[in-house]
Amino acid sequence: MKTNPGRFFEDFRLGETIRHATPRTVTVGDVALYTGLYGPRFAVQSSDAFARAFGYPRSPLDDLLTFHMVFGKTVPDVSLNALANLGYAEGGFRRPVYPGETLSTVSEVIGLKESSNRQTGVVYVRSVGSDERGETVLSYCRWVLVRKRDPEAAIAEEHVPSLAKVVDPQDLAGALPKLSAAAYDTELAGSPHRFADYAVGEKIDHVDGMTVEEAEHQIATRLFQNTAKVHFDGLAAKDTRFGRRLIYGGHVISLARALSFNGLANVFALAGINAGRHVGPLFAGDTVYAWSEVLACAEIGRDDVGLLRLRMVATKNQPCGTFPDRVGEGYDPAVILDLDYWAFVPK
């Protein structure tokens, strides 16, 4: 058979390495489309002149564009038969990516755990995105719930990996070139608030909302060469429990990140992903809002930038003035994303 049916749970082997298909040269075309789809306004990624004054050779890609490009390649091999994307951990953006670079992805299977009903299992992978010289630009772990082809199939070896709850910020300090905090123009950047202006426990409602259309998430998800059919096949979707196309979870992350400019305008680059969970599904016609909480402020031995640990919560169809959050064991029903990440802020 020449078509890819996708791997089922029993097809994965602990420790195996999967070299994913379709390397991708990222371009200013991808950047423009990313801007049109999400509307980010971070000055470093928007202006070559601003980026150069600050210390970059030119504007780097939005880190989430890099993330989606690296992630998309894993879908045909890892999650074509997934029922749910359960979580992320140990994410690290190793260096800025620039237009013209070519990204490819390799994943290692670091964990396998069959469900008690033997219908499904959890697959843990560590995915590494590299440039054309093989240098790592991004790595992260994610785990997904994958169907078994045959409930009776035996699993060769199981293992639940022990993943860090939080990425050590010192490990992320080297991701950026030497920058100049003094050359960072806060007026052009849209906010006066620098590293020292954020305090642990501070919550910020990002105010604005964005209604999502089918065409938008489909264009985005194809741009990332993510092939999960739940996002594209509206006819097949009628027979699912949702009855319609499900929006790629990464679309929510990018929307929330773009909305977070209003309050976090100087949080100019992502550094690490500590944890992430797609709490609920998003559908076309829904409106996304977001709020953030400062979880930690870390000095990393640099005089240009510090790291903020932020929690970004996205909701659908409910503004975030009341900071919809966890409720008991679960979440407020409006919450769709809970992402815990490290990001750089100028001093």
> Would you say 112 or 265 has its CB closer to a copy of itself?
265
Using the rule CB under 8 A, which residue among 111, 209, 250, 280 binds a copy of itself?
A: 209
In the bound complex, what is the minimum distance in angstroms from residue 308's beta carbon to a copy of itself? 12
| Binding piece for a copy of itself, criterion CB under 8 A, among 90-98, 138-146, 232-240, 335-343 | 232-240
Residue type, 314: A
Using the rule CB under 8 A, which residue among 78, 144, 264, 314 binds a copy of itself?
A: 264
H or E element that contains 302: none
Specify whether the backbone of 114 is left (phi greater than 0), alpha (psi in -120 to 50) or beta: beta
For CA atoms 173, 179, 183, 185, give the dihedral sign. negative
- Site residues for a copy of itself, 109-138, by CB under 8 A, read 132
Size of the site for a copy of itself (CB under 8 A): 77
For residues 43 and 316, what is the distance between their CA atoms, to the nearest angstrom?
A: 27
In the bound complex, what is the minimum distance in angstroms from residue 255's beta carbon to a copy of itself? 10
In the bound complex, what is the minimum distance in angstroms from residue 329's beta carbon to a copy of itself? 28
- Site residues for a copy of itself, 286-345, by CB under 8 A, read 287, 317, 319
> Would you say 37 or 173 has its CB closer to a copy of itself?
37
> Would you say 27 or 240 has its CB closer to a copy of itself?
27
Nearest alpha-carbon partner for 269 in 203, 347, 346, 180? 346
Residue 66 engages a copy of itself in binding (rule: CB under 8 A): no
For residues 211 and 139, what is the distance between their CA atoms, to the nearest angstrom?
A: 31
For residues 261 and 256, what is the distance between their CA atoms, to the nearest angstrom?
A: 9
| Binding piece for a copy of itself, criterion CB under 8 A, among 157-165, 172-180, 183-191, 246-254 | 183-191
Determine the longest span between alpha carbons in the chain, in angstroms.
63
Q: Are 264 and 339 in contact (CB under 8 A)?
A: no
